[in-house]
């Protein structure tokens, strides 16, 4: 198994990423194709990466969507948007290897911390984060859509 930054768009990669994001979705519903431009924007950006875990056959079995968030001055934080391993490989250490890759990625970008949210009802994910030493904050997440 290897973990690497996605560096090239292909329709096969897009389909597999879509399958994994459906597994992550609260509804489990397909929300349609992911535009090629999304992949190309991530690949070309110095502040965003899609880390992918591939098994020995080259199949994508996990992913983490990472971004750098800039605060005032020189403060930078890494932000984890999506993090998922395929249901067929959960419990095999792939999430832990992706976690380590996320931390390495954040440090390479000069970030002070990794920030993320984890929804209610995701007890297994929350236990994973706690085992990795993440602190839980009692906060509300707000989203304004337009």
146 inside domain: no
9 inside domain: yes
Render pLDDT for 117-140 as a digit per residue (tens, 0 to 9). 877 777 888 888 888 888 888 777
Number of domains in the chain: 1
Alpha-carbon distance of 97 to 100, in angstroms, equals 5
Section 46-71 average pLDDT? 96
Q: Where are the beta strands (DSSP E) in the chain?
A: 2-5, 48-54, 60-70, 76-85, 114-115
Question: Structural domain of residue 20, as residue ranges?
Answer: 2-131
Residue 5 corresponds to which tokens in the numbers above? 């930054």
Domain with residue 81: its CATH number is 3.40.630.30
For residue 103, pLDDT over 80 is answered with yes
90 inside domain: yes
137 inside domain: no
138 inside domain: no
Residues 6+ apart with CB under 8 A from 59: 16
Determine the pLDDT at residue 105: 97
105 inside domain: yes
């Amino acid at each position: 198994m290897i973990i690497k930054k996605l560096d090239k768009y292909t329709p096969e990669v897009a389909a597999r990423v879509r399958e994994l994001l459906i597994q992550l979705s609260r509804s489990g519903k397909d929300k349609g194709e992911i535009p090629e431009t999304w992949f190309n924007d991530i690949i070309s950006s110095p502040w965003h990466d899609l880390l992918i875990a591939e098994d020995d056959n080259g199949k994508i079995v996990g992913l983490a969507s990472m971004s750098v968030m800039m605060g005032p001055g020189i403060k930078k934080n890494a932000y984890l948007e999506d993090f998922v391993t395929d249901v067929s490989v959960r419990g095999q250490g792939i999430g832990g290897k992706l976690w380590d890759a996320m931390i390495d990625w954040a440090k390479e970008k000069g970030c002070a911390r990794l920030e993320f949210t984890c929804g209610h009802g995701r007890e297994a994910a929350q236990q994973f984060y706690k085992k990795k030493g993440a602190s839980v904050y009692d906060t509300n997440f707000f989203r304004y859509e337009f």
